Amino acid sequence: MTAPGVWLLNLDAELEVEARARYRGPLVALSKRPELATALAALIPSGDRVLSSLPSRGELSGQRAFCWSPTPSASGALKLAGAAVVRPLPIEVLRCVMNRGFSAELGLHFEAASWLLDVEAALAKVRLPSPSGRWLARRAFGFAGKARRVFAELHSADEAFVTRAATEGGVLIEPFFECSLDVGLHGFVSAAGLVLGEPVINTVGGGGVFRSSRRAEATDLSADERAAILLEATRAASALTAAGYCGPFGIDGFRYELGGRAAFQPRSEINARYSMAWALGMGSRRPDLD
């Protein structure tokens, strides 16, 4: 029987990977929202425990340790405590696959969408009318609805956001559509190949903040929508493997209205880490524990 493991839920890993100066440690996000540990109960096997504070030197000697994302601060703290970190990865790999440009390079499904690193090109883009009436601008790194801005008329604060985003790693600019159904599909990539879960339906609050999830029922998605998100998850897995990534991942998609008819965005984002609905989507398929 496998010995119980420990989990370090560094839920704001993107801030560290982006090398933000204000990053204050791998457990700060969880300390602000400790209820998320309960929401992630399905992720944590029976007998394992979630760390609420950083362990002392040698405290976890010989134990297997899992990270939300194996960033330097998370992996370093666990190794210092003597734990065996499962699937450590170089920071360069994490920085590559967590960047929104990584997903953009696989193709943007909105015709008017652009991934831009040039400030003038980005500003010229958002000065044009959006096909939907509003633009959505997103920074290179973000999570839980952070690092994004929605606007119709361009104001100085919007220009400042776009300018800073383009300067600091890139900005993804897309027409903003109201989501009528938020969908996720999760998986795991390793040398043994790809393991995919089942689609989940997410409830998301204002600004893209996760609320809850459930397994998708047969009637939730059309056959075309299921095929589209499956294809994009498979494509994402191939790209992650080629970039040197090994571990849990997920993609987000959503249904929206276009010209009075339902349309589907099968890949709005790639999350190269665990996510809130990952265990629900994977069910009994847990290659991450092997």
pLDDT grade, residue 211 (50/70/90)?
confident
Residue 206 pLDDT greater than 80, yes or no: no
pLDDT grade, residue 21 (50/70/90)?
low
- CATH number of the 103-175 domain: 3.30.1490.20
The tokens for 180 are: 């009528």
The CATH number for 178-289, chosen from 3.40.50.300, 1.10.10.10, 3.30.470.20, 3.20.20.70, is: 3.30.470.20
pLDDT in tens, 231-275: 999 999 999 999 999 999 999 999 999 888 999 999 999 999 999
Question: Would you give the end-to-end CA distance of the chain in angstroms?
Answer: 12
- CB of 17 within 8 A of CB of 94? yes
Residue from 75, 66, 64, 62 nearest 26 by CA: 75
Collapsing DSSP states into helix, strand and coil, what is residue 236? helix
pLDDT grade, residue 1 (50/70/90)?
very low
pLDDT at position 2, please? Answer: 63
C-alpha to C-alpha distances, 210 to 185, 202, 270, nearest whole angstrom: 15, 7, 15
d(CA 285, CA 192): 14
Residue 127 pLDDT greater than 50, yes or no: yes
Query: Per-domain residue ranges for the chain?
Result: 6-88, 103-175, 178-289
Collapsing DSSP states into helix, strand and coil, what is residue 273? coil
d(CA 108, CA 124): 19
Tell me whether domains 103-175 and 178-289 share a fold.
Answer: no
- CB of 1 within 8 A of CB of 44? no
Q: Enumerate residues 6+ apart whose C-beta is below 8 A from 55.
A: 6, 77, 78, 80, 81, 83
What sign does the CA torsion over 213, 216, 221, 223 have?
positive
